[in-house]
């Protein structure tokens, strides 16, 4: 039952923020919004405010904002209140606001984590050694605390990076604390990216609670960094340099279950990661996704006239069918992989 409610929470917050983006910008530019719904299927309950019906529906697997003029067959639209009555830039803003709100959600969730749990700050303890790298060859071990480098006392991770990065190919003397004793080690940093010296280890991390402003800045920086890493992975996957490791609903729910068992902060961290993925995915120029609708609006802006609505809707329908097929295939692979990894069940 915990998994169910954790999944409802994660999916609910991702969908709410996404649809809220479309809704808020549509209202801001003067588009009539008929309905704001969380979930699909039968309506559980709803309220009407200022001409908009707000519904909660039975199946928590999505949501939608129904705006005037989105259906080309719709009649009797109040003048100036339809989606098509707005400029290309305004309509692009309405469509793009959904994915962008997912990035904002990630920033806010990570900021909460950094405020209450803490922001991970590298310390002077060696957490992991990269096999075969200079640190490994020199005999350094996880748990060693770097005390000094070339006679200079080490007080922070920045002291370590400065001392090592500036000495590629040079033999340097390090003093580390191991089991309460000082140990002297000589190591030669290899030449890494940008000509920097590197010896091949990962530092331990301390959690430092941040004030709200610093937490928001940290959330924004982490969201940007994760986004870049995902884009880099997608690029390498397209080039065949990385495996096509895609996860569907089954895999996501399994990950939610694992995170929920570890605690609320792990669940929030996963929700932030999923929100970034959802934002990026929706910006892809795949028919039926927000990115495709933005692309069609871009064509309209360049041509000075819209694409035939019937043709555009057909393309989106085909894209929707493709997405459903992809979800079925990915879900099948998820089930197979999870049962291979966990023979007793996920």
Predicted pLDDT at 40: 87
Indicate if the pLDDT at residue 213 is higher than 90: yes
Indicate if the pLDDT at residue 157 is higher than 50: yes
Q: What is the mean pLDDT of the chain?
A: 88
Condensed to tens digits (0 to 9), the pLDDT of residues 167-180 reads 999 999 999 999 99
Closest CA to 58 of 45, 34, 39, 72: 39
Pick the CATH number of 119-207 from 2.30.42.10, 3.40.50.720, 3.40.50.300, 1.10.30.50: 2.30.42.10
Active-site residues: which are they? 19
> Rounded to two decimals, what is the model's pTM?
0.83
Cα 210 to the chain's mean position, in Å?
21
Tell me the three-class secondary structure of 234-277, residue by residue.
HHHHHCCCCCCCCCCHHHHHHHHHHHHHHCHHHHHHHHHHHHHH
Predicted pLDDT at 108: 97
Indicate if the pLDDT at residue 246 is higher than 90: no
The values of phi and psi at residue 23, to 5°, are: -60, -50
pLDDT band at residue 95 under the 50/70/90 scheme: very high
Predicted pLDDT at 243: 67
Of 286 and 25, the one with more pLDDT: 25
Of 131 and 76, the one with more pLDDT: 131
Condensed to tens digits (0 to 9), the pLDDT of residues 27-37 reads 999 999 999 99
Report the SS3 class of residue 105: helix
pLDDT mean over 123-133:
94
pLDDT mean over 47-75:
88
Indicate if the pLDDT at residue 344 is higher than 60: no
Q: Residue 83 gets which letter from DSSP?
A: G
pLDDT band at residue 72 under the 50/70/90 scheme: confident
CB neighbours (10 Å) of residue 188?
15
Dihedral, CA of residue 101, residue 106, residue 107 and residue 113, to nearest 10:
150
CA-to-CA distance for 148 and 289, rounded, in angstroms? 54
Residues whose CB falls within 8 Å of the CB of residue 260, separated by 6 or more in sequence, listed in order: 2, 3, 6, 266, 267
| % pLDDT > 70, the chain | 92
Question: What ranges do the domains of the chain cover?
Answer: 2-117+229-341, 119-207
Condensed to tens digits (0 to 9), the pLDDT of residues 270-304 reads 999 999 999 999 998 888 899 999 999 999 999 88
Beta strands in 12-98 (DSSP E): 33-49, 52-67
Crossing angle of helices 212-238 and 88-116, rounded to 10°: 120
CA-to-CA distance for 247 and 256, rounded, in angstroms? 12
The DSSP-derived string for 313-331 is HHHHHHHHHHHHHHHHHHH
CA-to-CA distance for 294 and 283, rounded, in angstroms? 8
pLDDT band at residue 335 under the 50/70/90 scheme: low
């Amino acid at each position: 039952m915990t998994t169910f409610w954790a999944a409802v929470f994660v999916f609910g917050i991702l969908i709410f923020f996404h649809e809220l983006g479309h809704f808020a910008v549509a209202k801001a530019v003067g588009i009539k919004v008929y309905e704001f719904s969380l979930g699909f299927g039968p309506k559980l309950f709803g309220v009407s405010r200022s001409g908009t019906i707000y519904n909660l529906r039975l199946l928590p697997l999505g949501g939608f904002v129904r705006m005037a003029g989105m259906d080309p067959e719709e009649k009797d639209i109040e003048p100036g209140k339809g989606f098509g009555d707005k400029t290309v830039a305004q309509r692009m803003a309405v469509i793009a606001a959904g994915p962008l709100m997912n990035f904002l959600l990630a920033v806010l969730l990570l900021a909460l984590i950094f405020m209450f749990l803490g922001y991970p700050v590298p310390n002077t303890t060696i957490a992991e050694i990269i096999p075969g790298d200079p640190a490994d060859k020199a005999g350094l071990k996880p748990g060693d605390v770097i005390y000094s480098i070339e006679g200079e006392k080490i007080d922070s991770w920045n002291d370590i990076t400065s001392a090592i990065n500036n000495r590629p190919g040079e033999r340097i003397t390090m003093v580390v604390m191991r089991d309460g004793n000082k140990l002297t080690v000589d190591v030669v940093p290899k030449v890494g990216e940008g000509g920097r010296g590197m010896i091949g280890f990962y530092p331990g991390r301390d959690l430092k609670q941040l004030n709200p402003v610093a937490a928001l800045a940290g959330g924004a920086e982490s969201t940007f960094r994760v986004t870049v890493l995902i884009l880099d992975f997608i690029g390498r996957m397209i080039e065949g340099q990385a495996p096509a490791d895609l996860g569907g609903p089954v895999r996501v729910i399994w990950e939610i279950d694992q995170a929920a068992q570890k605690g609320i902060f792990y669940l929030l961290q996963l929700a932030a990661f999923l929100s970034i993925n959802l934002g990026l995915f929706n910006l892809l120029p795949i028919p039926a996704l927000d990115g495709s609708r933005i692309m069609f609006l871009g064509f309209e802006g360049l041509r000075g006239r819209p694409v035939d609505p019937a043709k555009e809707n057909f393309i989106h329908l085909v894209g929707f069918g493709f997405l459903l097929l992809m979800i079925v295939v990915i879900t099948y692979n998820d089930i197979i992989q999870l049962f291979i990894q966990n023979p007793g069940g996920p």
